[in-house]
Amino acid sequence: MKGIITEIERFSLRDGPGIRTTVFFKGCNMACQWCHNPETLQIKPQLMTYPQHCLGCGACVACCPSGARSVKEGNLHYDRSLCTGCGSCAQSCFTGALVMSGREMTVEEVMEEIRQDRAYYENSGGGVTLSGGELTTQPDFAYALLEALKAEGISTALETNMYAPWHVYERLLPLVDLMMFDIKVFDSQIHKKWTGVDNQRILENAKKVAESGKDYLVRTPVIPGVNDTEEEIGSIAAYVGSLGGAQYYELLLFNPLGESKYQALQAVNQFEGSRPSAAETADRLKKAAEERSGLPVRVG
């Protein structure tokens, strides 16, 4: 069995307790307009272009089987509509001007990378986190990888948007030690405006995770102009508190580091130029979340 993975990040300290390895799955079932990993939204491999690194050697043109890369008026040209994502051009590019996002990997290939840091997991109370994109877009591969991890005694965590059908999570939960999930916006119509889907399934799944007794925590990305008000964060926090049993509630300040990725994908970035909330605003939101949830609140 193979899955499509965008990255395997070692020595992560932000994706669960201890030192972790985070496996980023490609593909997502939502379309958050602020996504800072836009290369993970489509499940198929994609070419990312960084023309500032290009030397104009033309090797990519010579090896492109679909005609997506060409020379026009003495300049290299790329037609993404013709690109099949075969990766030939990226393999020929030694400067980093062309990079493929997403590669097929077997469970064993992923495990080979994970095992390298096993001692760090054991000494720090860490483990492996499956993230994305959205891992539930590849549920069979996620299940197989979790099985392999548990067979070797490695602690597991999921980072998910909670939008998959419940039966997907119900199958994965016995193999998971910690669930980390988002509630991005509380109002369903506003949620749909910014993410492409309403949040009814998300809220229902959140309740079921809480009822399962599984360790979990809830996060909200704080997005300028979307949910960065005390009223909105307070509404989400009150719901999180009503679930019962969350380890803590976390506010994740807007991450602007995805801007270069949008450029590399020739994609529209609705939040270009946006920056994280100021410290004073973050403090107010944290206080509102603490008051409404009754939980410890972290800001990251």
Q: How confident is the model at residue 73, as a pLDDT?
A: 77
Q: Residue 188 pairs with which residues in a beta bridge?
A: none
The angle that helices 230-243 and 200-212 make with each other, rounded to 10 degrees, is 40
Per-residue HEC secondary structure of 208-243 comes to HHHHHCCCEEEEEEECCCCCCCHHHHHHHHHHHHHH
- Residue 269 DSSP code: -
Matching residue, tokens 């483990």 = 127
Alpha-carbon distance values, 275 to 67, 223, 255, 259, 264 (Å): 38, 9, 7, 11, 20
Residues 271 and 234: their CA atoms lie apart, in Å, by 23
Nearest 10 degrees: Cα torsion 121, 130, 142, 25: -130
Angle between helices 139-151 and 107-115 (to 10 degrees): 40
Task: Please give the structure tokens belonging to residue 26.
Answer: 């490609």
Radius of gyration of the chain (CA): 20
**What is the model's pLDDT at position 225?**
96
Distance CA 128, CA 24 (A): 11
Take residue 145 and report the two structure tokens written for it.
């990888």
d(CA 230, CA 186) in angstroms, rounded, equals 12
The sign of the dihedral angle between the CA atoms of 28, 32, 38, 42 is positive
pLDDT of residue 86: 92
| Tokens found for residue 192 | 């749909």
Half-sphere exposure of 262 (CA within 13 A, CB side): 15
Instruction: Say if CB 31 and CB 41 are below 8 A apart.
Output: yes
CA–CA separation, 10 and 119 (whole Å): 13
Q: What is the pLDDT of residue 71?
A: 85
The mean pLDDT values, 10 residues at a time, for the chain of 300 residues are 96 94 98 96 94 91 92 84 92 94 97 96 96 97 98 98 98 98 97 98 98 98 97 98 98 94 95 95 97 97
Predicted model pTM: 0.94
How far is 135 from 37, CA to CA, in rounded Å? 14
Contacts of 62 (CB under 8 A, 6+ apart): 92
Q: Determine the pLDDT at residue 286.
A: 98
Distance CA 119, CA 125 (A): 10
Token pair listed for 113: 């990378």
Cα separation, 197 vs 162, in Å, equals 12
How high is the pLDDT of residue 56? 87
